Amino acid sequence: MPLNQNKLKMLQDRWEARLAKEGLGPARRSPNPYQSGTTGHDKITRQAKVQYYQMLSSHTARYAFNKPLDSVVMQLVAEGNSYVEVSKELKSLNYRRRTTARTISKIVKHYEKLWGIVRRAM
């Protein structure tokens, strides 16, 4: 049974009041820190991400991988793809090995440790 516009507005107002009462405020009106790019912290975070992916790309290009899967994974991650996106790409390429995001993460962490790349929370 669909709500009419008045009931919907009343329900939204009630929840906004409850959120404000608990100190949470309306989430949809809060600015997205990743879109603004005006504070120094955002610039530093962006620079750290760029540097991380440049180092990853550099090491991936120079390293002689023993396993073709590892090579493909590291190239896709160095291009900025998420682990889930890499997993989907590998499945579309019909890799037989289990290629979940967790497996991708383990592969990436292995090479980060091998190459001395420290990844802080980004």
Q: Identify whether 91 is part of a domain.
A: yes
Percent of the chain with pLDDT strictly greater than 70:
80
Q: Identify whether 82 is part of a domain.
A: yes
Q: Identify whether 37 is part of a domain.
A: no
Is residue 47 over pLDDT 70? yes
Tokens of 14: 């009630």
**Identity of the amino acid at 22:** E
pLDDT in tens, 87-96: 999 988 888 7
Looking at residues 72-91, what average pLDDT do you find? 92
Total domains in the fold of the chain: 1
Q: Identify whether 16 is part of a domain.
A: no
Q: Identify whether 75 is part of a domain.
A: yes
CA 107/CA 73 separation, integer angstroms: 8
* 72: containing domain: 48-122
Q: Identify whether 35 is part of a domain.
A: no
Looking at residues 74-80, what average pLDDT do you find? 93
Which of residues 47 and 83 earns the better pLDDT score? Answer: 83
| Cα distances (angstroms) measured from residue 25 to each of 7, 8, 32, 36, 100 | 21, 19, 15, 20, 37
Q: Identify whether 94 is part of a domain.
A: yes
Cβ(95)–Cβ(70) below 8 Å: no
Q: Identify whether 96 is part of a domain.
A: yes
